[in-house]
Structure 1
């Protein structure tokens, strides 16, 4: 299906059983709940989906199950985060064969490529399929920065249609537009810059805490689209303490813990990640309790 690049696209968690095996039944239940909550698309196997913790065959199995379950109700987009460019191309080809609707492409993992190498990586992966691509820029986590000037250099790649900007510098959105005009659709990639990004022209967001509070996140985006900024600010201020969790190196563990605390899945992660414990866990539990105790109502 064609992708309408707007709205809330949760970066869907991959749920595991206690033995770290994939819990496909729990994943299906979670995806169905997200759809019922009104999300506009799904990002499978991004950072929050623990892409790097799954084997090649597991990744294909997760994507196939998601595509079959969703059955065209919203776009299903696969994260592409392989170490080698050749492996990323092969993975992209497999995603196309599985019927995925699009790709979210990251720089090659492990090696910190320079700009020339990074451009070559993206060009090669972009040319591997005809699927539309959301480029994911997150230098804070992955150590490679795709600067606005680099996106201008890649503007001739027809399948590169959108940018998930997660540099933690919301000014980048304006810089990209000033350099490339309306060439790219802009997405916010950081939960706690959602409102600011929308004001600056982002038409959608890839969201982590939406795994636990999808209806509230969808409502926030609706308020933003309708220009109801006072109401949007109120809802945003309620959610922002939890949204800050998305910017931590432990974002996967934190988001899964929040999801668990609201009764929507296991917090189990694969080693070397460990579930949150001690004072750190108590801090997140208190934050979520406060959010639930003061949960906003909306029509």
Structure 2
């Protein structure tokens, strides 16, 4: 659902087969590609190791291995140490303009919709992220990009150029940015793409959370705002969105407003550049609810 960096450069030409070949050349490990994983904005494929166990091969365009180790991989190490259901990383290396990861294949499939039981589990998982990075100043905080462009997403100019409505929204986002710090405060784990499509489930029970590539330090309640934008993508069971809206309405303004402005910019800009034109007002409608 949520955009990821799209600066592919040379990595744009890399396929799962070529990446598996690069892994073999660099490490001697021969991975058999079984097929692409469904969904997502960044490539992922199922692979099988020589011993027969299956994993997920992912590639992050424009990424740097040192940044991934210092941020998302360090976050996942903390989470797994607390029993949080996120995948382990079995192998990671730099291939041309991409970081390539081989990660544990968790049981379950992504949720199509979020029912009330799923929302309960999502809220419990989010609450478990609180305070886990206290004393970990080495893990970078989340940058909100309310006054500057993000790395391939959260771009301001496309929204300004789209329409008078888009320009007015971008101006409100910048005004929020001028009144709030550029980095998310707090010592919680922040997933940054915590939507129901990244929750795995078996028979309706959540078994894991995937796609931690943007994880960092900040306020875990940021992820509730991300979840709300994810639920906007399609109709949900009755009452689920209303429940989450009630929780968001109870958040302090200095938490909710910058997080909402970030997600408004992220999704409105992405819709302008990547979605059919008729879908853009759908995201502007949501953004304007709290801006």
> Taking structure 1 as the reference length, what is the TM-score of the superposition?
0.28
> Taking structure 2 as the reference length, what is the TM-score of the superposition?
0.28
Higher helix share: 1
Q: Which is higher, the Rg of structure 1 or of structure 2?
A: 2
